[in-house]
Chains A and B, each alone.
Chain A
């Protein structure tokens, strides 16, 4: 074996976007079919990525199939630009997609890949949101056979899922699903909207931006097209409600950092073990602080 052998340069490098062109075309064809059949879990040949399945490989494959040198990418994990998953995925895209700009500012981004949150600021038509999905099928809790689930989805038969929600009401007086809330798209397919909190579910409805959901391990891609009806699964007499951030006095809790009272809050413990609340969307929180500083100096 020649110890000094080196791959020729053109073979040593990866193609733009890491995936080979055949893989990209397959993902692209799948994405288009997913848009044409809103909410349908379109199967595709999920590729091995240089990271474990479950770490956002589905979202990453969708992003890599879409991205071009003119794009500006924002990657967030649980609302934060700086958590490990977001930093790793962003660095991977920078490594394999030369020329692509990355940003933490939502208004600059053309492509946003996110884990478990939809950004606070409303998306625009110029943006595409890619969500990472661990478990794509909401029916898996009531039907173990995928073949039967596919028929149930095709016939829009969600009676067993509704029974599951009803059992929650019987036991706990309310539907206890905190995230991954089953949501009906275009009045047919019910999707698992990825583990976004209830707070984000209404943002799926009539969104100006295309929302793509990629599940790498489960080998599925599905979509919520723009300006499409997205309704959380509920009963007529038990309306859907989002997280309640009011304190014992009935006042809406504010972010401890920026003071916002209109954002989704994460709960922390401070040094004295007291509970504090802070915006989950770090870019939104930072933006509010900048606005306040401008107002102070003006």
Chain B
């Protein structure tokens, strides 16, 4: 029997039971950085994650125009600037072209969560890169293959998280899967696959 989740109708993304299940997967990937979760919603992972995380209380920045106009009212989130918004969704294949908020020394929780859409995650695909990870949530170290992630993101992230506790937290997702890289995770960029 396949372990892949059955694709669900898109309207279920907006219902509390689905959002609770997606949050549990988010809790898992943030607790164990580098582990890849299959999206319970089946597809449109990035939208399922945003639906589970945002509401009218938060601002969401979309510098690369990922969100269709008719989706915004359903997300309820306010449209914000990438320099100040707590949530940012961006195309990971493009070079990073903004400076996200890292929070302050006293309030590091205001550092942004970046949701980056990549080509594939958790499987070795041509042109991808192998990330070697260590830090809280990881026993020893682990590897995460990613493809379709512009090198500028990892380079910029290294600078943004250098002065812990301020920093940014990354969520990478492809069409069906997602993984997290909290600010505490040490990343060594490995071989090009």
Do A and B form a real pair?
yes
Q: Assess the A188–B165 pair: CB atoms within 8 A.
A: yes
B30, CB-defined interface residue at 8 Å: yes
Assembled-state Cα–Cα distance A154/B166 (Å): 9
Find the A residue at minimum CB distance from B33. A225
B8, CB-defined interface residue at 8 Å: no
Assembled-state Cα–Cα distance A15/B15 (Å): 12
Residues of chain B with a CB closer than 8 A to A154's CB: 105-106, 108, 165
Known: A28-B53, A36-B183, A227-B139. A151 touches B30 (CB 8 A): no
Q: Which of A19-27, A83-91, A258-266, A270-278 contacts B (4 or more CB under 8 A)?
A: A19-27
Find the A residue at minimum CB distance from B53. A29
Q: Assess the A225–B31 pair: CB atoms within 8 A.
A: yes
Count of residues in B whose CB is under 8 Å from the partner chain: 36
Assembled-state Cα–Cα distance A22/B165 (Å): 27
Q: Assess the A37–B24 pair: CB atoms within 8 A.
A: no
Q: Assess the B169–A36 pair: CB atoms within 8 A.
A: yes
Most buried by B among A30, A35, A36, A229: A36
Q: Which of B55-63, B115-123, B124-132, B143-151 contacts A (4 or more CB under 8 A)?
A: B55-63
Contact partner of B55 among A15, A25, A189, A225, CB < 8 A?
A25
Q: Assess the B109–A38 pair: CB atoms within 8 A.
A: no
B182, CB-defined interface residue at 8 Å: yes
Taking the closest CB of chain A, its distance from the CB of B49, in whole angstroms, is 11
Known: A37-B165, A38-B184. A66 touches B109 (CB 8 A): no
Tell me the number of A-to-B contacts counted with CB atoms below 8 Å: 104
Known: A25-B55, A68-B21. A37 touches B31 (CB 8 A): no
B26, CB-defined interface residue at 8 Å: yes
Find the B residue at minimum CB distance from A149. B106
Find the A residue at minimum CB distance from B165. A37
Find the A residue at minimum CB distance from B108. A37
Taking the closest CB of chain A, its distance from the CB of B8, in whole angstroms, is 15
Interface positions of A from 113 to 171, Cβ below 8 Å from B: 125, 128, 147, 150-151, 154-155
Known: A22-B57, A31-B27, A188-B164. A225 touches B136 (CB 8 A): yes
A32, CB-defined interface residue at 8 Å: yes
Q: Give the 9 A-B residue pairs with the shortest CB-CB distance, closest first.
A: A36-B182, A228-B136, A154-B105, A150-B106, A33-B109, A210-B31, A225-B136, A36-B169, A68-B20
Q: Which positions in A face B, CB cutoff 8 Å?
A: 15-16, 21-22, 24-26, 28-38, 40, 42-43, 65-69, 125, 128, 147, 150-151, 154-155, 186, 188-189, 210, 225-229
